[in-house]
Amino acid sequence: MDLGALISRHVLFPLHSRREGSDIPRLLRELEASQWWTPSALADLQLQRLRALLVHAGHNSPYWRDVFAAADLDPERVQDLTDLRRLPTLSKRDLQKNRERMRAPGHPDRLLPDKTGGSTGEPVEFDLNEGRFHYRKAVAIRHDRWAGWDLGRKSAYLWGHRQDVAAPKSTVAKLRARLMDRHIVLDTSSLSVEAFEAFRQQLLTFEPDVYIGYANAVFLYARFLQERGGRYHHPRGVITSAEYLAPEQRAVIESVFGCPVYDRYGSRETGLVASECGHGDAMHVADESIVVEILGPDGEPAAPGERGRVVVTDLLNHGMPLIRYEIRDVASPVTGACPCGRGLSRLQMAGGRVTDFLLALDGRIVSGASLTIYLIANARGVAQAQLVQDTRDAVTVRVVPGDEYESSTAEWILGELPRYFGDDMRFSVEEVAEIPLAASGKHRFSISNFDPTDLF
């Protein structure tokens, strides 16, 4: 490790954490220890945190007070994690309709507002308390370490949502980014052959240890290098996230870069849920902050190896408790110990989160996954949306109107689309009562008939 990395890790990072009052170094030390605890010790910690969350929610959130009363649940008497099952699950529509009443202030932390278009095109707005925000950062650092990154080491984000990895503005922030954060951001919201050539040059110059990116964008960059050949940079590890990573995509990425892929699963509402450790073919859940339930069609827990829908309880977002949140992904539980020795529970993803790239006439490759954030999250009153490209010169946005939907929303969407696709395409907004599942049973946010690799 070079001198810059050592200074970053041992001097700048602790100083910065102290200045922002985040306590991330302490949280990280705790998380580094607890990942090796036994499953039963981790379950005890979860129960203690669950009870604290439910008690806080019962005292401070009108929404949850009503839900607990209807379920006859006294938070003080919760004895077991399975008591959670007495509560109904929380849908994205519930969250869309009840954000105000769901908040549970009465907590010393600031509330940070956020929103997402979501992997299924159902936009939600929510809040996060600041302590939870810092805890998320500490969890991400722990899981990034599994992939060969560490504090002070360099990383490159192939990311479609620029605000997530904010570009520094002030001189101090720029200096900090260079000395401490040591990352670059390659914007994948709109791609092209020229953009990929620019990525190649930037990565050769910066030499990051790890790439962190949207699964489809990393895969497409790997395919680009495979087709075009020439000299390019090889990282020590690749972390994929935000979209479903198909086994054949993983194989291409691993062969092109000659390093392992560590797939990760999370959502904007709950933060990192689970990620691969490099041993075995399952993901470890961040049990200290999240309770994951995987439910079969009857609402009962799925058996090991059986597929079910993922329901997440965020144990630490006291500002806006998300309890039994239907995240709309499919996974199966995995039992038995992982060869790595960690006690964190495990799951295996089973598809879901399918987004295609759409192709503009001018050669731009537009990431469906980032359009959920840029476009749909900001469209007022949309309950659910889907982008469809049947012909090369046209894009249709299907919209399920929500309570606050107005005709101006459609006009706003039509005004935004040329920013991503250029002026020479036809756009339309189609209002529909519902968006059917694909034949595979998956939600698809974007569907395109065109394969971007044809451009390489």
Binding site for Zn ion (CB under 5 A): 277, 279, 338, 340, 342
CB of 284 to Zn ion, least distance (A): 5
CB of 191 to Zn ion, least distance (A): 33
Closest CA to 429 of 359, 363, 381, 362: 381
CB of 282 to Zn ion, least distance (A): 8
Q: Which is nearer to Zn ion, 342 or 442 (CB)?
A: 342
User: Does residue 142 contact residue 351 with C-beta atoms inside 8 Å?
Assistant: no
The residues, any chain, with a CB within 8 Å of residue 276's CB and separated by 6 or more, are 146, 261, 262, 263, 264, 282, 283, 284
Paired with 400 in beta bridges are: 384
> Residue 343 — φ and ψ, nearest 5°?
-90, -5
**Sign of torsion, CA 436 441 445 449?**
negative
User: Does residue 64 contact residue 87 with C-beta atoms inside 8 Å?
Assistant: no
CA 192/CA 201 separation, integer angstroms: 15
The CA distances from residue 158 to 40, 187, 203, 240, in Å, are 37, 6, 11, 9
Between β-strands 365-367 and 190-191, what pairing exists: parallel, antiparallel or unpaired?
A: antiparallel
> Residue 124 — φ and ψ, nearest 5°?
-135, 150
Helical pair 215-228 and 193-206, crossing angle rounded to 10 deg: 90
CA 47/CA 33 separation, integer angstroms: 18
Q: Which is nearer to Zn ion, 277 or 330 (CB)?
A: 277
CB of 35 to Zn ion, least distance (A): 9
Q: Which is nearer to Zn ion, 285 or 395 (CB)?
A: 285
CB of 344 to Zn ion, least distance (A): 8
CB of 146 to Zn ion, least distance (A): 8
CB of 285 to Zn ion, least distance (A): 11
Q: Which is nearer to Zn ion, 281 or 362 (CB)?
A: 281
Look up residue 433 and give its two tokens: 């009562």
Q: Which is nearer to Zn ion, 33 or 433 (CB)?
A: 33
Q: Which is nearer to Zn ion, 97 or 145 (CB)?
A: 145
